Structure 1
């Protein structure tokens, strides 16, 4: 379900209907995010968990004379990671057209040095799957500057348990939270504290989780991807517990509590530092909220490109959250 940052109403509505059908109280904030609340035994102290449903994407920057589109990126990623990707252009009146993101100098039969050309805004373009020859033809379709472009996720579930897809950051975590809420309702679990679940819709551009935090909130846990790469401990088979990212260290007491819960419940985990990363929890801290903040999530390979994780990582993340929401607050 396409949901680049700035155009998330469809997927937020889907999540809202899912939760409403479970009998969960929800409300939308003015930014378009969704907050679900489950009452707890203690209503004087609250918890908040968040995962973001917005994804990377693009906007139409320019309609070129050749009938193709120059794009502007939404979120932090590189043009090379979307070269050759199928995409969808959604106009302001709701019409949708498909296309492919290509280097202008793609054809090796025409451009001798195609492999040397820099992948940047100047050289990358969208080839629209319509009979268009020039700028006027494109505008007759209703396509204009500012129209949103989403990328084909190409979801594949393998027999060996891998999930391959774009946008596992952070739709994997949104799915985990929705199933956690469903499990709490179905098992009639009595939570120790009133617990809010924020389905954020602006995390990829930095400010999804920085508001709508009740003054009673003590702990704020972001559920987002764990970054995999050279020098990283995170893998695709455990839950990743972040100790520090580009914003600085996460709360030491909450981190110790999460690791303790993992050990006590046979949950495989890895502690890790994500050097070029920020979360909704760090956005909340930067905005001045007096909260205990943490970050966990499934390990995701090739972040902000064609991502992959394993069902084991999803399961361990879900299990840790299940025990976390029933635990006592950090002293």
Structure 2
């Protein structure tokens, strides 16, 4: 088991090192396509950029979905002083990025570094604190520019992508700290599922496929799945916080989020397996959450739907989880697809 958890941890480091805010995910999906091909699978890339791969089995198709797009920003305009005014991609919260390093990706393939700051960040200068609202944020390029013309001369323009540094760390005690654990941690778990299926020649009593989506953070990642899909589970971050039972060391099973209840029977089955396998788990309600599988339902698919994932603290911030949460999620999924 440790071999697969180590593999998942290495995949997380690799995936978080690939900038992929919503709308700029090609490098991440190129990586997924090659890795799955190297494992011996035949993944398919959809026109919108989702990666789909069947692991095996026949009948009653189950899709496990995770997303590799992340929060981020885009250049809204270039200011007269050469700094960049950003616009949010996804539910990005600027107060969590004030002072963060970032990279800017131009349409001709250039990459520049910079830092995200509010318009008056110096305590020794500011007469009063500037609110960390989007209109008060700017990106200072690590280049000697002080005019709009100088920034334009670098090849930077409106619509270029701004990606925050992930700062991925896995401690000796097993804690995982990084931006974008939502949802590159669960995407890495699905890669671990693909690996164990090949390594141990696992068989299924139904058709099992993986879906890696690229527009979840803006609401339509899972809006298209194969027509014969009968069941879909979003494998995304489990929430940790006040009034919730989940911790970073657990697998979370969501009973309800902002879109309403998940399939009652599926939630029951998943929780019963977790109990039988003596996994550390919690059933929780997420008050402010939406998932890929809800986009699938809104698109009109008649499916059973569920949502699980490793516990992640400080969502949409600099996030933290634990390898125990990874292990519990991995075991719940492998048990569910093979029994």
TM-score (norm 1): 0.96
1:111 equivalenced with 2:126 (yes/no): yes
Q: CA RMSD in A?
A: 0.8
Alpha-carbon distance between aligned partners in 1 of 2:296 and 2:248, rounded to the nearest angstrom: 27
Q: Deviations over 1:251-305 (max 9, x none)?
A: 0000010011111111110000111100001111111100000000001000001
1:96 aligns with 2:111: yes
For 1:21, the equivalent position in structure 2 comes to 38
Partner of 1:224 in structure 2? 236
Please tell me whether residue 281 in structure 1 is matched to residue 293 in structure 2. yes
Higher strand share: 1
- Of 201, 209, 213, the residue aligned with 2:214 is 201
Question: Cα offset for 1:122?
Answer: 2.0
Counterpart Cα distance in 2 of 1:191 and 1:19: 19
Structure 2 residue aligned with 1:66: 81
Which structure 2 residues correspond to residues 208-287 of structure 1 after superposition, within 5 A?
208-211=221-224, 213-287=225-299
Shift of 1:121: 2.2
Where in structure 2 are the equivalents of 1:144-183 lying within 5 Å?
Answer: 144-183=157-196
Note if contact 1:105-1:111 (Cα within 8 Å) is conserved in structure 2: yes
Alpha-carbon separation, structure 2, partners of 1:228 and 1:203: 20
Q: Which runs of 5+ in 2 are unaligned?
A: 1-17
Q: Which runs of 4+ in 1 moved over 6 A?
A: none
**Whose helix fraction is larger, Structure 1's or Structure 2's?**
2
- For residues 77-132 of structure 1, what are the alpha-carbon distances to aligned partners after superposition, in whole Å with 9 as ceiling and x for unaligned? 3210110000000000110000000011111222121x3x2111221100100010
Distance 1:276 1:152 in 2: 25
Please give the secondary structure, in 2, of the residue aligned with 1:25: coil
Measure the CA separation in 1 of the matches of 2:263 and 2:104. Answer: 41
Q: Which one is further off, 231-240 or 288-297?
A: 231-240
Name 1:138's counterpart in structure 2: 151
Of the structure 1 ranges 44-53 and 89-98, higher mean CA displacement relative to structure 2 is found in: 44-53
Q: How many residues align?
A: 322
Q: Distance in 2 between matches of 1:130 and 1:214?
A: 47
Structure 1 unmatched runs, 5+: none
Task: Give the Cα–Cα distance (whole angstroms) in 1 for the partners of residues 251 and 162 of structure 2.
Answer: 32
